[in-house]
Amino acid sequence: MTTTHAEDDGDVRVRQAVQADLLAVLRIERASFDQPWPFSAFERYLGDPGFLVAVTGGESTGTLADEQGEPRADESVVGYVVANLVPNHGRSFGHIKDIAVHPDHRGEGVGAELLERALHVLEVRGAQSVKLEVRASNDRALSLYRSFDFQYLRTIPRYYDDGEDALILVVDVDE
């Protein structure tokens, strides 16, 4: 399934990530984080329903290829999310592991589109709750997560290499 919303400069579609997307994902990761994931980390999640990319360009043809998330040559990856299920004492628990939007496309709703779709994928796969970690100073991300009703759970002191704390946020998706 491909999610689409209109932007002033074209459509943004969300689809499952494929091998051809990985270099663009890695570029966005490096532009977004001081401690970027390595290429191999993204490779590990290929094929997982929660590894999604937001793309612009190309025309949706309504074909089966669109539904299967096949990339088109005229697409550009503008964001991604990596989310999966983790075991938690017999209860399905979702984890948003990584999410980023290319700096040129921030503030356009791409992050919200990716987060909404990832939460839906996790819920459909049986998650009752979803957690994530976020830098305590990342006000833009915190605002996004609060708009999706994420609640503060706890702080992990000095979580990041530079010594900054991480906030653990959780949302129930099965209500």
For residue range 77-112, list pLDDT tens digits in order. Answer: 999 999 999 987 777 899 999 999 999 999 999 999
pLDDT value for 1: 37
Nearest alpha carbon to residue 118 among 106, 103, 101, 130: 130
**Whole-number pLDDT of residue 60:** 54
The whole-number pLDDT of residue 11 equals 85
Q: Where do the structural domains in the chain lie, given as residue ranges?
A: 3-128
Q: What is the pLDDT of residue 92?
A: 81
Prediction pTM value: 0.86
Report the amino acid identity of residue 141: A
pLDDT tens-digit map of 108-166 = 999 999 999 999 999 999 999 999 999 999 999 999 999 999 999 999 999 999 999 99
What is the pLDDT at residue 21? 96
Which of these CATH numbers, 3.40.50.150, 3.40.50.2000, 3.40.630.30, 3.20.20.60, describes 3-128? 3.40.630.30
Q: Write the CA distances from 154 to 136, 164, 173, 174, integer angstroms.
A: 11, 14, 19, 21
Closest CA to 144 of 115, 124, 173: 115
Instruction: Please tell me the distance from the alpha carbon of residue 160 to that of residue 101, in angstroms, as a whole number.
Output: 20
> 103: burial class by Cβ within 10 Å (0-12, 13-18, 19+)?
exposed
